[in-house]
A and B are shown apart, each in its own frame.
Chain A
């Protein structure tokens, strides 16, 4: 029987939704334990214990874990993974940062962005910005992988797993120090879990103009997203970037305004329910993937949509 260890992602005492998605993937492989590393893990461990399919939560309390630094977490995770058949983390910046460091300490290859479980050793994962899907088989021994969060729904909550305090002995380095997190304050829903997303591209033209995106997003109760070009131009913060090298999302409704539809952007929205494209260029590639296209100037279309809501 496979015994899977999932490492929880959390911030400010809140469990991140990516954890429940990774648990859903893990539950297709075997029995699932979740580990919480924190300086005060109680609240997060309690939330993890409620995820359906989790049979045990391991809480690892250490002041060194007050911020999620890969250099500090990796040796602890490597030590805790002993005896497990699988070690999984979500494919968020947290999992991408930490897990390869663990894998190397354990001398194991890592499967990045698991999108489908075939069996306990075999998985599907995307390469070339999602333009090719490969089937990969892990070698004998511990399987290490990150879970593409857009490919798995979050496991439900209703469970009540036991929470055990765990101790790990590992030498923790002091060569890496957390200074600060400049969190982009936003009242809007979280981009990665929002049911609706309104995104703007270079076509929006300026930071000032981005208010047409925010305004429609607020009217729809949606998260706001952006293309890389919009982020690079300084119209909006980088944590709004959707795509191959930004966030991979799967909302029920995605509205792309003034976005041309480069493959790197489309990779981020392939799993969306309904894609709406609003672009004044009738030949923009985004129309090849959009379920509904509207050839229009976004500055006229977006306010008009709001009026009809």
Chain B
């Protein structure tokens, strides 16, 4: 099975993000960057599919600046076989990311594209679904359990009403939820080995994709903050405070 896995470079989830002084965006200079946590789960799932006995080639794909090579090396160190970086210097919105993945999925003849359900920078939650539409393939979003049999996949999806089980034909697009697995820890020797694995670079223009109409971001601002209230001594004081606020 040929598996493409998305690996987006984002600000590490532990960092408290700051807006640039001139309000033109989010500060990334000197900030710790990591693999989007949901994508790390996607890489882990691809590895488990192979370890579960389905012979697979795992190709990690990132779209972004040269710096994203770092995150691709992480995916290679986890166990991906090779990597492709589609270089783009300006912001790539989900529709264009989906067009890029679509092109690669066809070029590579992928059986499965595993993506995070959302990137924790733009929180858009769109790319997998858009790719599935463009490619004309099934989608299983928010997946927390994935099994294969007879050229089909069964995906258990985390939906608001509970857990939904669907069956999809392959090729398909699967997006990962947090509970799908726990990504492995990368060991030092694997990081060394990853340096020798192939990492191809392509320019967005080489893929022959015409850019889509874009959303224009005109302002970045901090959210209306909640301020800390006060602590109460004991339960009777808590009850009194709740009555005071009219919620009891």
| A172 touches B (CB below 8 Å) | no
B217 pairs with A290, CB closer than 8 A: no
B133 pairs with A110, CB closer than 8 A: no
Chain A contact residues, majority secondary structure? mixed
> Known: A70-B141, A108-B213, A245-B178. Is A181-B164 also a contact (CB below 8 A)?
yes
Shortest Cβ distance from residue B16 to the other chain A in the assembled complex, whole angstroms: 7
| A157 touches B (CB below 8 Å) | no
Greatest chain B CB density within 10 A among A92, A109, A239, A305 is at A109
Interface residue from A101, A126, A263 paired with B129 (Cβ < 8 Å): A101
B247 pairs with A137, CB closer than 8 A: no
Instruction: Tell me the count of chain B residues lying within 8 A, CB to CB, of chain A.
Output: 80
Shortest Cβ distance from residue B120 to the other chain A in the assembled complex, whole angstroms: 7
Shortest Cβ distance from residue A266 to the other chain B in the assembled complex, whole angstroms: 8
What are the residues of chain B within 8 A of A177 when measuring CB–CB?
166-168
Contact with B along A112-126 (1 / 0, CB 8 A): 110000000010001
| A293 touches B (CB below 8 Å) | yes
| A107 touches B (CB below 8 Å) | yes
State the B residues within 8 Å of A (CB): 11, 13, 16-17, 19, 26, 93-95, 98, 117-118, 120-134, 136-139, 141-142, 144, 154, 157-169, 172, 177-179, 212-223, 226, 228-232, 234-236, 238-239, 241-242, 245, 247-248
Can you spell out 6 A-B residue pairs with CB atoms less than 8 angstroms apart?
Answer: A71-B139, A109-B95, A132-B26, A175-B138, A237-B162, A239-B158
- Interface contacts beyond A141-B213, A176-B166: sample of 18 additional A-B pairs, CB < 8 Å, sorted by A: A70-B139, A93-B142, A96-B125, A97-B129, A100-B125, A122-B218, A131-B222, A132-B222, A136-B216, A139-B215, A173-B138, A180-B164, A182-B165, A270-B223, A275-B229, A288-B228, A291-B229, A292-B229
State the A residues within 8 Å of B (CB): 11, 69-71, 74, 92-94, 96-105, 107-113, 122, 126-141, 173, 175-184, 192, 196, 228, 231-232, 237-239, 244-245, 247, 252-253, 263-264, 270, 273-276, 282, 287-296, 301, 304-305, 308-309
